[in-house]
Amino acid sequence: MDFELTEEHLAVRDAARDFTQSILLPGVIERDEKMEFPKDQIAQLGELGFMGMMVDPKYGGGGMGALSYAIAMEEFSKVDSSSSVCVSVCNSLVNYGIEQYGSEEQKEKYLVPIARGEAIGAFCLSEPEAGSDATSQQTTAEDKGDYYLLNGTKNWITNGNSASMYIVIAQTDKEKGHRGINALIVEKGMEGFIIGAKENKMGIRASDTHTLLFNDVKVPKANRIGEDGFGFKFAMKTLEGGRIGIAAQALGIAAGAYELALAYSKERKAFGKEISKHQAIQFKLADMATNIEAARMLVYKAAWMKDQGMAYGQASAMAKLYASKVAMEVTVEAVQVHGGYGFVKEYHVERLMRDAKITQIYEGTSEVQKIVISRGVLKD
């Protein structure tokens, strides 16, 4: 068992770390405050190849593995989860879904521009009445022969206004249940496709989260991904990999908060000495470091299993469940270590605490992860 990172992994980590400190950190507080999408930063991430890390080079990607991707996600998320979630959606959901299950025409038209950093994609599964219960899709895609007539509402959609293409999960045949669901590629600007207001969120405030409305949108049959009725399986398989990205994001949020708390504890003095010399703080730092390292092992293992071609659904669920729990616990403690300074925006940890919560909710709540894990445990 080899725990050493390869030269590629180290190079990715260093490049992501440098980018985070030099490009993402400046202005991150203001972008959070104003809910300002990091358009320029995302464009630069695209130019550097981070928006298509795992895509085959023949489609304009970097050809890297899931572990390299997880390492990059961790670094970005130490400072700016509003940017890292955009990286995650493009890599884990949109790129993976199209490359794995799309036609060659779809790959050339939609995958290549995203992999090259020239466009952004979105993944549209959640609805007002169907979040965790993805089988209860109310959005319909009525088969009209050579096209589908799309009607319905999707909400909490990351990159909702910034994307140029959207993978939309919709019900074609209700009698078939989850076997009657399709995945369709919708382009921005299609007639009847309306982008709703941006959500005013607690965390990841700069990310571009919108409600999307579809009113008699005509989607060509050529834009269906996979066979008729493949949509639900497509969504579930894609989300398995998505969990690795969000687990890595949670890991990064925790690690970023810990690093800030550690540095602060060596500077701040109380009762005549640095607070890092008080056992109460030492024990907090010890717990934080241990839990982060345990989360990192779960995240890296899930990514490694994906790279090895092994079944990784249960591992990715465990990684997301645990890393998101650690993110919440560590960020709360990081604020506590900072005391009153942790409660103000200037010191960053309060933002990380707000950002942490969403990692327990999106791409499958912690409760859904427990369902996935328990099914795997009881199957044997």
Indicate if 36 belongs to the active site: no
Task: Give the long-range contacts of residues 338-347, CB within 8 A, separation 24 or more.
Answer: 338/260, 338/261, 338/264, 339/268, 341/264, 345/29, 345/32, 345/33, 346/29, 347/260, 347/264
User: pLDDT value at position 20?
Assistant: 98
The class (CATH top level) of 7-120 is mainly alpha
DSSP 4: P
Q: Considering 74, 99, 127, 363, which one is annotated as catalytic?
A: 363
User: pLDDT value at position 360?
Assistant: 98
Predicted TM-score of the model (pTM): 0.97
Residues of the chain with CATH 1.10.540.10: 7-120
Half-sphere exposure of 374 (CA within 13 A, CB side): 6
Q: What does 45-62 look like in DSSP terms, one character per residue? A: HHHTTGGGTTS-GGGTS-
Residues of the chain with CATH 1.20.140.10: 236-379
User: pLDDT value at position 153?
Assistant: 97
Distance CA 157, CA 329 (A): 26
Report residues of the chain scoring pLDDT below 70.
380
Residues of the chain with CATH 2.40.110.10: 122-232
Distance CA 90, CA 86 (A): 6
User: pLDDT value at position 2?
Assistant: 87
User: pLDDT value at position 1?
Assistant: 78
Half-sphere exposure of 356 (CA within 13 A, CB side): 30
User: pLDDT value at position 129?
Assistant: 87
Distance CA 131, CA 366 (A): 13
Q: Which CATH number fits domain 122-232: 3.90.120.10, 2.40.110.10, 2.70.98.10, 3.30.420.10?
A: 2.40.110.10
The torsion defined by the Cα of 158, 164, 167 and 172, in degrees rounded to 10, comes to 120
Over residues 297-336, the pLDDT tens digits come to: 999 999 999 999 999 999 999 999 999 999 999 999 999 9
Distance CA 286, CA 90 (A): 35
Q: What does 209-250 look like in DSSP terms, one character per residue? A: EEEEEEEEEEEEGGGB-SSTT-HHHHHHHHHHHHHHHHHHHH
Distance CA 146, CA 169 (A): 18
Q: Which fold has domain 236-379?
A: Butyryl-CoA Dehydrogenase, subunit A; domain 3 (1.20.140)
